[in-house]
Structure 1
């Protein structure tokens, strides 16, 4: 299973544990042409739904615990949902949420953690914290 994941960063990992993949939802939508087209045609709900459906298909058979993180209207806390085995987080700042989770989970060292994004700041954070990085092109 570890060979399927690619090179893991240095650290102590239970490589038999299911890796966590944090997906920067709106960033991925902006990088995938067919999702971006939907977004640009004022169909953000359709773009989000297509992303979730694509991730369900991508993860069959299950290779990751996937959590898709979306920016939401500022609220007192995060809102959690699920969709066909995916976790969905609505939070005031997806970038901050992903960076915080990357740092926390990588520091625990109990499971591999990945970030799927084209955002340079999150990519730097992933490398800094010893997490894995998946570009939006690789996720496609």
Structure 2
């Protein structure tokens, strides 16, 4: 299973729709990103680590919450999302497939040296948009195949009679 590490605030600041939401509420932008990651993870079968900086919050301890295959992490005081990701990638980077999403070029170099694939936030945005589009197509296809029409269950002769009755009223 591919492990995807996402620098949450880096992505929020890079994606146009999340950046607009952030202007009103960081909480709303985080929630929207979490929803996107749940869909992305579920559709692709990936494990996503969504990491948010809490290093400037006094007394903050590391918090993790798992929702399906998405692990939401708030770092502890004094730890950036970058350092958290580096630590994790260092411990698993060469044993499993790891992708790190950040637009921080120094961070990209560090994680690449530790065995991870790197992806910019904008590249990831395009990948998530493609996933969203594929989900929508699949959903529409499933809806159309799940339709249960009367035309499919009765004979042509009865259907013709019903249409005549409908037209006469």
CA contact (8 A) 1:102 1:131 kept: yes
CA contact (8 A) 1:28 1:117 kept: yes
Among candidates 49, 62, 68, match of residue 50 of structure 2? 68
Gaps of 5+ in 1: 1-17
Tell me what 2:114 maps to: 129
1:27 aligns with 2:14: no
SS in 1 for 2:6: strand
Among candidates 34, 47, 51, match of residue 29 of structure 2? 47
SS in 2 for 1:34: helix
Gaps of 5+ in 2: 126-169
For residue 118 of structure 1, report the CA deviation from its aligned partner.
0.9
Range with bigger deviation, 22-31 or 109-118: 109-118
Range with bigger deviation, 57-66 or 126-135: 57-66
For residue 74 of structure 1, report the CA deviation from its aligned partner.
4.2
Looking at both structures, which has the greater relative contact order when contacts are Cα pairs under 8 Å and sequence separation is at least 6?
1
Tell me what 2:133 maps to: none
SS in 2 for 1:123: helix
Larger radius of gyration: 2
Distance 1:47 1:76 in 2: 21
Greater strand proportion: 1
1:120 aligns with 2:105: yes
Distance 2:31 2:14 in 1: 15
Distance 1:122 1:74 in 2: 25
Query: TM-score, normalization: structure 2?
Result: 0.65
Report the CA distance shift for 1:74/1:124 in structure 2 as closer, same or farther (over 3 A).
farther
Query: TM-score, normalization: structure 1?
Result: 0.78
Among candidates 69, 86, 98, match of residue 99 of structure 1? 86
Distance 1:114 1:122 in 2: 12
